[in-house]
């Protein structure tokens, strides 16, 4: 009996031990609960995303502005350099034009000086041959122009109270039936060209080149001429030395 009780106890202990060992070897599983994404948290995430996107857009805009400013500065620098170059070229051209104008003025002045000297010499030489007394048509022309001395100079006028230079000459020769062109340029080629050393009373004097004269008058003898000079002096009788003419033509 003792042996049977002992065996039952041992069997019970064996079973219990086995059960305990089985329980000790079984793994333990633990469940973790994640927090629930609430509406507030979603809104915060969305705001954060918007803020990040806006910041990126701001950075991109600023980069574009910086690039534009750099390009503008580069273009402005190029424009300034171009403007300086053009200004330098314009200055160079202006200086060249001024130099040429000064040279032209000097050339004209030298030409006038030479012309005046030549004319004066011719007038001096002609003094002995220009004192002849006018007769016929020449006398009538000279008498007419001397009678106009003291009258006014008016551009385009042909008398009787005022004249311009070619108007006086045309009207004077009209008195003797000679029809002359109206303007100085044409009157300077209206007759036969004569030397200033061989002038005769009644010859037409001109200033400037034949065909492009700018002034005319009538030689009246004794080294004198009568012409409608300008608005300030009117019709005057002057010596040839007062304003030596360029040439002369003879129509009588």
Q: Check residues 217 and 124 and name the one with the higher pLDDT.
A: 217
pLDDT at 28: 54
Domain ranges of the chain: 123-250
Sign of CA dihedral 131, 133, 138, 139: positive
CATH of 123-250, one of 3.40.50.170, 3.30.420.10, 3.90.1720.10, 3.40.640.10: 3.90.1720.10
Return the SS3 of 199: coil
153 φ/ψ angles, rounded to the nearest 5 degrees: -100, 125
pLDDT averaged over every residue in the chain: 80
Task: Kindly report the number of other CB atoms within 10 A of residue 251's CB atom.
Answer: 18
In this structure, the strands spanning 224-228 and 162-163 are unpaired
What is the mean pLDDT of the segment spanning 206-225? Answer: 97
100-153 pLDDT, tens digit per residue, is 777 766 665 555 544 445 445 444 444 433 445 778 999 999 999 999 999 999
Cis peptide before 160 (omega within 30 of 0): yes
Residue with tokens 């314009």: 90
Distances (CA, A) of 81 to 3, 12, 75, 177: 124, 111, 10, 73
In this structure, the strands spanning 162-163 and 152-153 are parallel
Helix, strand, coil % over all residues of the chain, rounded to 5: 60, 15, 30
Answer yes or no: are the C-beta atoms of 188 and 169 closer than 8 Å: no
Q: Which two tokens stand for residue 64?
A: 């574009």
13-52 pLDDT, tens digit per residue, is 444 444 444 444 555 555 555 555 566 777 777 787 777 8
- Helical segments of 127-200, H only: 136-147, 165-174, 184-187
Nearest 5 degrees, angle CA 189-CA 121-CA 233?
65
50-64 pLDDT, tens digit per residue, is 778 887 888 888 888
Q: Report the predicted TM-score, pTM, of the whole model to 2 decimal places.
A: 0.51
Return the SS3 of 219: strand
Answer yes or no: are the C-beta atoms of 188 and 210 closer than 8 Å: yes
Which residues have C-beta within 8 Å of that of residue 189, sequence separation ≥ 6?
210, 211, 249
């Amino acid at each position: 009996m003792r042996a049977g009780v002992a065996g039952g106890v041992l069997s019970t202990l064996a079973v219990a031990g086995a059960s305990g060992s089985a329980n000790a070897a079984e793994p333990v599983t633990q469940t973790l609960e994640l927090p629930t994404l609430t509406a507030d948290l979603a809104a915060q995430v969305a705001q954060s995303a918007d803020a990040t996107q806006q910041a990126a857009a701001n950075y991109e805009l600023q980069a574009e502005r910086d690039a534009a400013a750099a390009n503008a500065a580069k273009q402005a620098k190029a424009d300034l350099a171009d403007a300086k170059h053009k200004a330098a070229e314009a200055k160079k051209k202006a200086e060249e034009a001024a130099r040429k104008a000064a040279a032209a003025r000097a050339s004209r002045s030298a030409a006038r000086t030479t012309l005046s000297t030549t004319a004066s010499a011719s007038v001096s030489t002609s003094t002995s041959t220009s004192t002849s007394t006018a007769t016929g048509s020449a006398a009538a022309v000279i008498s007419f122009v001397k009678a106009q001395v003291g009258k006014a100079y008016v551009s385009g006028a042909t008398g009787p109270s005022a004249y311009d230079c070619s108007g006086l000459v045309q009207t004077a020769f009209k008195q003797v039936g000679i029809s002359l062109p109206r303007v100085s340029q044409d009157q300077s080629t209206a007759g036969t060209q004569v030397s200033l050393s061989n002038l005769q009373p009644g010859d037409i004097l001109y200033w400037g080149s034949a065909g492009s004269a700018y002034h005319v008058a009538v030689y009246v003898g004794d080294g004198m001429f009568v012409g409608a000079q300008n608005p300030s002096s009117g019709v005057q009788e002057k010596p040839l030395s007062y304003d030596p003419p360029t040439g002369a033509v003879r129509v009588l």
